[in-house]
Structure 1
């Protein structure tokens, strides 16, 4: 039996029992988990072993990492166009295979140039392309329940934060940092490639379904969907989206979230210690942030399905502004715990909005191109985020005034978000508009 025939058999068996989109959602969540080798929380464990082995400073490693992240971001629009052209199943298979090779390549790094290239490959295939493809796949299968679906999908990222750093540390202590990357590459292939080959179907229309499974209880609707064509799926092209005020209001707001979340992650320990806390306390509150994020992502998803989207985005931006103000007030354990929980809510908002907002306003037909461009802007923002706080540390000795000033950015975006409207060509349920 061919892989395609086996995939059709699995689809028929499972879809007779429940909407197959939940299977797709599970694979997409696994995709976010599998992106772990390309994420910052995994890299952080390897900084000291790489520095000692290659004889380069942590600053040099950070420079290679930042440059690679920026270069990977600039390639994301190309990845998005390829997803539109070949479909998320083929692209996800290729991306996961190349991510595994990138792990093997990185583990063999012998010098700075090799290391920088390895960072670039891992950031592009893991943090960039695989996350983009997973979100794209979920967006194709869910519309009315997209917020809930995105919140559940993002649990895969929370699981990666919980699993990959301690796993990487165990591997480093057991087999060394180079061999650790070999194991991470092999695990990437084992945990993701079979699921892609056997379970992933690009869109519900491919099987005569509609997003959310709404055609299943109505046979006449199912027949209509089955006879529909790909060109009947609503969606703006990238050039059309770029000509709307909506696109620019969204990227400006989402860049705020990406930029400042990265800055707070990057400097949390340094900010806390500058305000009188022990470094151990600063490190200890990370699990509180992660736990809050995991707990709140499904809640945020359900809110997105029920509130007007512009109002939900405005609330997320106000949470971001509040987190920035709160971090400057942390001076003891209780305030650190409160901030960690607030920052976890902020991360839940950013992760859920990441995959939700682009198909919500621009449709599914050319989602890869639009999402790739939007994600590129967000990653560029993330690469710039730590700079103003670092400047404040170096120039003023304290970042508090700079951070408080930066809080004006998301607060202003919250007001601008209220101006966002769905382009006329995109159908939307009235309660979301």
Structure 2
């Protein structure tokens, strides 16, 4: 596979890292097949055809989060140990098979097993693998690279939401599940298998655009030397143990938990909420799909913003938007209101994905990023497991989403202040013994 990559690098007029971003981004596209906005299209048809409650259906999201919670550290270890490419390829295979098998999941047990398997890929291997390998190819342009990856995810969310709605409305749920599985295989399997390369150093390159194997021009003393650059790349990274000793790690851990508790808890039920408000299935799908359109542009926009301002300030902005959007849902009673809410929700979805990925990479470097993300993702998973189930229980007990949305909005606004405490960690001198005097690690900033 490396032979093909090197051949493409000689032919292409741009840096091969962008090919890696596109190839790994295809897995993030496929990852959106079992996304909550896809499931929300199925909630009403599933409850009508099989008599399942909304709590039972939304519980499948929690089951997937709990399964991923157990596997996430192992996935992070596998990415660092074996590489992102094999993990992404296996993930696409599992995801495609799981989504296809949903066509025959007619009892809760088989539904939970298939959907939980797909959600493990959604939560862990696809986003962690794609963002980790891209972060290894870019430092200066990391914001744009990670933003492009989640742009692919936003496009996937749009495609799978509309595909689900159209297949259900014009054919059947079984056709919808089979169509989703087919798209996963077609779009993502070949790119992840053939085009993903673990590190730029494997191709004689350096992060962003450097080529260490180029001969320096005569008298040019500024051309980077490969041995120096490679040494810095190895020393710019924190280990998992070092990262877990910092306050920033645990703030990000718990903020990720809250962000996805509120965001996932709201989004799992938003399709059913729109239907309760009198919107048709098609209008509900359009509104949800519009949120993915906003998320697509937002992914690139947030990536650009993160190259201009501190990530913790951007994260605080996302929490504010999350709180405002959740309260605003209580006023939605028509198409226009649903589209405004969708725009706010799309901005939150793109911002949370991009910012979290970039903060961990910027704070803790490249080498152990898979392990660090694998552990930190357990906080996100706890939130995603709790939010939908809590929202479902409160709805079933109260008969409306009013209390749920008010509770979630208050939590989000409080966290907009707390996340500002997640300042860039500075490594103690004892951790930097391998660095030359005056050299800054990738996880540090100049004051």
The question of a shared fold, defined as TM-score above 0.5 by the shorter chain, is answered with: yes
For residue 78 of structure 2, what is the aligned residue in structure 1?
82
Secondary structure in structure 2 of the residue aligned to 1:305: coil
For residue 435 of structure 2, what is the aligned residue in structure 1?
none
Q: Residue deviations 1:310-343, cap 9 Å, x none?
A: 2112222222222233233445665544333222
Distance, in Å, in 1 between the alignment partners of 2:262 and 2:20 is: 31
Secondary structure in structure 1 of the residue aligned to 2:230: coil
109 and 229 in structure 1: CA distance in 2 versus 1, 3 angstrom threshold: farther
For residue 433 of structure 2, what is the aligned residue in structure 1?
none
Secondary structure in structure 1 of the residue aligned to 2:139: coil
CA contact (8 A) 2:142 2:358 kept: yes
Secondary structure in structure 1 of the residue aligned to 2:421: coil
For residue 117 of structure 2, what is the aligned residue in structure 1?
121
Report matched runs for 1:225-264 at 5 Å: 228=230, 232-264=234-266
Secondary structure in structure 2 of the residue aligned to 1:228: helix
Secondary structure in structure 2 of the residue aligned to 1:279: coil
300 and 64 in structure 1: CA distance in 2 versus 1, 3 angstrom threshold: closer
Shift of 1:365: 0.8
Shift of 1:144: 1.9
CA contact (8 A) 2:266 2:391 kept: no
Alpha-carbon RMSD: 3.3
Q: 2:200 aligns with which of 182, 200, 204?
A: 204
Q: 1:140 aligns with which of 136, 154, 157?
A: 136
CA contact (8 A) 1:7 1:197 kept: no
Secondary structure in structure 2 of the residue aligned to 1:418: helix
For residue 385 of structure 2, what is the aligned residue in structure 1?
383
For residue 32 of structure 2, what is the aligned residue in structure 1?
36
CA contact (8 A) 2:84 2:198 kept: yes
291 and 197 in structure 1: CA distance in 2 versus 1, 3 angstrom threshold: closer
367 and 109 in structure 1: CA distance in 2 versus 1, 3 angstrom threshold: same
CA contact (8 A) 2:237 2:443 kept: no
110 and 344 in structure 1: CA distance in 2 versus 1, 3 angstrom threshold: closer
Distance, in Å, in 2 between the alignment partners of 1:175 and 1:402 is: 34
Q: 1:374 aligns with which of 373, 376, 390?
A: 376
For residue 302 of structure 2, what is the aligned residue in structure 1?
300
Matched residue count: 426
Shift of 1:10: 2.0
* Alignment of 1:348 onto 2:350: yes
Shift of 1:33: 1.0
* Greater mean alpha carbon deviation, residues 18-27 or residues 346-355: 346-355
Q: Residue deviations 1:123-147, cap 9 Å, x none?
A: 1124431122111121111222212
Report matched runs for 1:152-191 at 5 Å: 152-169=148-165, 177-178=173-174, 181-182=177-178, 184-191=180-187
Q: 2:3 aligns with which of 2, 5, 8?
A: 5
For residue 327 of structure 1, what is the aligned residue in structure 2?
329
Shift of 1:261: 1.2
Distance, in Å, in 2 between the alignment partners of 1:343 and 1:141 is: 30
Q: Residue deviations 1:213-251, cap 9 Å, x none?
A: 245799565542587269715222222211111111112
Distance, in Å, in 1 between the alignment partners of 2:188 and 2:403 is: 45
348 and 84 in structure 1: CA distance in 2 versus 1, 3 angstrom threshold: same
* Alignment of 1:427 onto 2:425: no
For residue 430 of structure 2, what is the aligned residue in structure 1?
none
List runs of 5+ in structure 1 lacking aligned partners: none
Shift of 1:77: 1.4
175 and 4 in structure 1: CA distance in 2 versus 1, 3 angstrom threshold: farther
